[in-house]
């Protein structure tokens, strides 16, 4: 990792930040917003971004912070205000390094256009723009499964025959929708405002999850009309009643208690993709199960994506869609701010917790299983369509003599030269081939950072015996590339294809070419290079953390009486980490070969005291 030199002006801003609640905005050299975040303590949170040691646990910062050239803040009175402001700014500006729902482009929403004389049920893909036109609108969604949504809308328009056209088709008569029972023709004054508003209210209740309540109201109205011998009107209510039942009969009964209303969130992920499963239980029934895939771009951690999704969803959620309980697979860092926001919206305290047992934990498992299934389907479809086009595009972009079917990428990881390691990842046909990944413990450099010498060593060790791939990718700029070329030259390898990929501007460096090349933005070639580079970085940093954890564990164990280097190695090999060792009981310790019962008892007592 090369030394990072921060802009003095931005460091001064960071050091003078207030310890107040608010939103911070990072901008690049062109003054474009690249990241928006919130914090209870702005000074503490923003300073952590410029602490390089924290980048190991948050790899996205290694890319984002060097591109940050300006910083702005907006102070807020409460955490709730900060959460709302952050969500609004992210939806408005769509910064490169923020996770977004992408709801305004990808997923459809349903809206009731309150604010006009006779509101309509409308589908929109642009909820923010729709709300600008109809500030009083009620919006429901998003609906990932569009087919199911349109099937439901088709039934709802029969049950709740609201106006569909923005403007009347005729001045003196109703259109066809009236004659086939899909509209009550308010444009011709054929329905009273009172009756129309009653239908609107029923529709809003249904979309808000109060489906049993609406169906029971229909049943009572139908029976009352029949008792009054109003059979024709009762028959119309009966038809609407059966149509609504056709929707709810497909829903699973989760609880016998019809008062239970919950939202459940589970996820499944790898380093590039997270799928979040969102399930809604209303009146004890599972009424919705949606899977939302989000790309973990620019090394975003899955925890950040999960947290951001929850924040953005509820900051935009209507008050009538908020449940009594929210069940989460993982704890979120701004739980108190979200609780404050939901209390302000719903006027009642909402429980947010991560269940560890019982039926609620089973619901989390159900959500995780749904997310896993959707994740596997998404990955399979990507693997079918991506590889060849990306490889061909990369060949053209880099002017290669042949398609790079096999690519090997190298990265170095250390902290000030300590625990210095390297990784090599392999991509074949555009996909990771993990069985051929390799990791290296650097031997020639230790104690001081020297990425150039480290790169030369690992290239020498790799290609002293191994065959050359179609393309070698070095994670780094001119210096790392030249070190790799020097190693290959000393091995008397006359023909090889190698490039360097620098993180700062995603620049490609070629041998003996002074000016770096920029790949086409948003191209499949750039995406492929980023994938292999990020995978090499992940693999290197994972190995580095393992060595660092083992070194720290050894130093802590060496303090304990009777535990020398040999027994330390035996214990770490058996338990894997110091944390696992501390969780073990006396019997587990005594079972380890080379650890007597006397040593086990002494070790157990000391670990319990610590």
DSSP letter string over 240-260?
Answer: HHHHHHHHHTTSEE--S-TT-
Lowest mean pLDDT among 80-84, 208-212, 366-370: 208-212
**CA-to-CA distance for 109 and 125, rounded, in angstroms?**
6
Tell me whether residue 221 is in a domain. no
Lowest-pLDDT range of 436-450, 454-468, 555-569? 555-569
Q: Using CA atoms, how far apart are residues 556 and 161, in angstroms rounded to an integer?
A: 72
Per-residue pLDDT band at 393 (split at 50, 70, 90): confident
Pairing mode of beta strands 471-475, 406-415: parallel
Give the total number of structural domains in the chain: 5
Given 63, 93, 123, the domain boundary residue is 93
The verdict on 314 and 436 lying in the same domain is no
Which token pair is 302? 């899955």
Instruction: Name the pairing type of β-strands 471-475 and 498-502.
Output: parallel
Whether pLDDT at 367 is above 90: yes
> Which pLDDT score, from 0 to 100, does residue 206 have?
87
CA distance 208 to 214: 11
Has residue 58 got a pLDDT over 60? yes
Same domain, yes or no: 601 and 531? no
Range of the domain at 457: 388-546
Residue 82, domain CATH: 3.40.1440.10
In a domain, 99, yes or no: no
Whose tokens are 């499944």? That residue is 268
Q: Could you say which of 357, 383, 409 is where a domain stops?
A: 383
Query: For the segment 110-132, what is each residue's pLDDT rounded down to a tens digit?
Result: 899 999 989 999 998 877 788 88
Q: Same domain for 393 and 538? A: yes
Write down the mean pLDDT value for the chain.
Answer: 84
Q: Does residue 215 belong to any structural domain of this protein? A: no
pLDDT at residue 267 in the model: 95
Average pLDDT of span 255-274: 84
CATH of the domain at 579: 1.10.150.20
Strands (E), 311-372: 325-328, 351-353
Contact between 202 and 217 (Cβ < 8 Å): yes
| Residues 397 and 432 reside in one and the same domain | yes
376 and 316 within one domain: yes
* Structure confidence at residue 383 (pLDDT): 53
Domain boundary among 39, 67, 93: 93
Average pLDDT over residues 92-120: 79
Side-by-side strand order, sheet with 33-39: 33-39, 22-27, 70-75
Helices (H) and strands (E) in the chain, counts: 21, 20
SS3 assignment, position 118 = coil
Supply the CATH number for residue 364's domain: 3.30.420
Residue 291 within a domain: yes
Q: Does 542 lie in the same domain as 394? A: yes
Does one domain contain both 74 and 205? no
How far are the Cα atoms of 104, 109, 186 from residue 123, in angstroms, in the given order? 12, 6, 20
Q: How many CA atoms lie within 13 A of 574 on its CB side?
A: 18
**Domain match, 412 and 529 both:** yes
**Could you read off the pLDDT of 128-142 as tens digits, one per residue?**
788 888 999 888 876
Q: Which of 80, 46, 122, 54 is nearest to 301 (CA)?
A: 54
- What percent of the chain shows pLDDT beyond 90? 33
CA–CA–CA angle 335, 341, 343 (5° rounding)? 100
| More confidently predicted of 49 and 55 | 49
Residues 522 and 433 reside in one and the same domain: yes
Whether the predicted pLDDT of 426 surpasses 90: yes
Residue 525, SS3 per DSSP: helix
Do 458 and 539 fall within a single domain?
yes
3-state secondary structure of 284: coil
416 with 444, same domain: the answer is yes
Euclidean distance between CA atoms 61 and 70, whole angstroms: 15
For position 575, what pLDDT does the model report?
74
Looking at the domain assignment, is residue 369 inside a domain? yes
- What is residue 251's predicted lDDT score, i.e. its pLDDT? 57
Do 339 and 446 fall into the same domain? no
Domain CATH for 469: 3.30.420.340
Sequence-distant (≥ 6) Cβ neighbours of residue 544 within 8 angstroms = 56, 413, 414, 415, 419, 421
Whether 200 has a pLDDT exceeding 50, the answer reads yes
In a domain, 256, yes or no: no
CA-CA distance, 145 to 168, in Å (whole number)?
A: 31
pTM of the model: 0.54
Compute and round to an integer the Cα radius of gyration of the chain: 30
Would you say residue 1 lies in a domain?
no
* Distance, CA of 290 to CA of 287 (rounded, Å): 10
Residue 246 lies in a domain: no
Dihedral class, residue 283 (left if φ above 0, else alpha if ψ from -120 to 50, else beta): left
SS3 category, 191 = coil
Residue linked to tokens 């499949």: 524
Q: Which two tokens stand for residue 355?
A: 């269940």
**pLDDT per position as a tens digit, 513-556:** 888 988 877 677 888 898 899 899 999 888 888 777 666 655 55
Give the pLDDT mean for 17-42: 92
């Amino acid at each position: 990792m090369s030394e990072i030199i921060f802009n003095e002006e931005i460091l001064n801003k960071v050091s003078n930040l207030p310890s107040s609640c608010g939103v911070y905005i990072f901008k690049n050299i062109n003054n474009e917003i690249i990241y928006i975040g919130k914090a209870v303590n702005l000074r503490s949170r923003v300073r952590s971004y410029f602490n390089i040691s924290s980048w190991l646990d948050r790899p996205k910062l290694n890319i984002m912070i060097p591109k940050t050239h300006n910083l702005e803040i907006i102070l807020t009175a409460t955490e709730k205000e900060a959460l709302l402001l952050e969500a609004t700014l992210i939806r408005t500006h769509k910064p490169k390094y923020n996770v977004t729902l992408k709801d305004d482009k990808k997923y459809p929403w349903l809206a009731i256009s309150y604010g006009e004389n006779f509101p309509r049920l409308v589908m929109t893909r642009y909820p923010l723009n729709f709300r600008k036109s109809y500030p009083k609108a009620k919006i429901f969604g998003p609906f990932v499964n569009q087919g199911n949504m349109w099937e439901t809308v088709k039934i709802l328009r029969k049950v709740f025959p609201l106006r569909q056209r923005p403007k009347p088709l005729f001045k003196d008569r109703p259109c066809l929708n009236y004659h086939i029972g899909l509209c009550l023709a308010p444009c011709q004054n054929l329905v009273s405002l009172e009756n129309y508003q009653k239908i609107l209210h029923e529709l809003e209740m249904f979309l808000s999850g109060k489906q049993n309540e609406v169906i029971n109201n229909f049943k009572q109205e139908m029976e009352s009309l029949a008792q009054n011998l109003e059979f024709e009107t009762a028959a119309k209510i009966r038809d609407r009643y059966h149509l609504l039942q056709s929707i709810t009969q497909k829903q699973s009964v989760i609880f016998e208690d019809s008062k239970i209303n919950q939202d459940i969130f589970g996820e499944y992920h790898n380093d590039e993709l997270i799928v979040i499963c969102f399930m809604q239980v209303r009146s004890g029934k599972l009424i919705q199960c949606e899977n939302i895939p989000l790309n973990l771009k620019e090394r975003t951690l899955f925890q950040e994506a999960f947290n951001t999704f929850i924040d953005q969803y509820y900051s935009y959620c209507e008050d009538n869609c908020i449940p009594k309980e929210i069940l989460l697979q993982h704890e979120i860092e701004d739980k108190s701010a979200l609780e404050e926001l939901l209390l302000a919206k719903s006027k009642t305290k909402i429980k947010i917790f991560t269940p560890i047992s019982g039926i609620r934990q089973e619901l989390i498992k159900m959500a995780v299983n749904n997310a896993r299934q959707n994740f596997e389907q998404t990955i399979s479809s990507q693997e079918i369509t991506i590889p060849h086009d990306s490889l061909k595009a990369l060949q053209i972009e880099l002017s290669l003599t042949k398609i790079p079917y096999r690519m090997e990428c190298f990265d170095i990881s250390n902290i000030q030269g300590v625990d210095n390691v390297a990784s090599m990842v392999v991509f074949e046909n555009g996909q990771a081939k993990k069985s051929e990944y390799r990791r290296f413990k650097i031997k020639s450099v230790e104690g001081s950072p020297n990425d150039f010498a480290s790169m030369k060593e690992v290239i020498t060790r790799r290609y002293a015996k191994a065959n050359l791939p179609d393309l070698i990718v070095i994670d780094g700029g001119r210096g790392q590339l030249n070190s790799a070329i020097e190693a290959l030259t000393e091995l008397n390898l006359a023909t090889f294809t190698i490039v360097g990929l620098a993180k700062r501007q995603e620049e490609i460096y070629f041998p003996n070419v002074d000016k770096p090349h920029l790949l086409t933005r948003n191209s499949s070639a750039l995406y492929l290079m980023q994938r292999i580079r990020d995978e090499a970085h992940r693999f290197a940093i994972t190995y580095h953390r393992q060595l660092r954890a083992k070194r720290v564990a050894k130093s802590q164990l060496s303090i304990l009486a009777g535990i020398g280097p040999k027994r330390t190695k035996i214990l770490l090999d058996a338990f894997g980490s110091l944390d696992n060792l501390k969780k073990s009981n006396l019997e587990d310790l005594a079972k380890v070969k080379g650890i007597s019962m006397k040593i086990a008892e002494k070790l157990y007592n000391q670990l319990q005291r610590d």
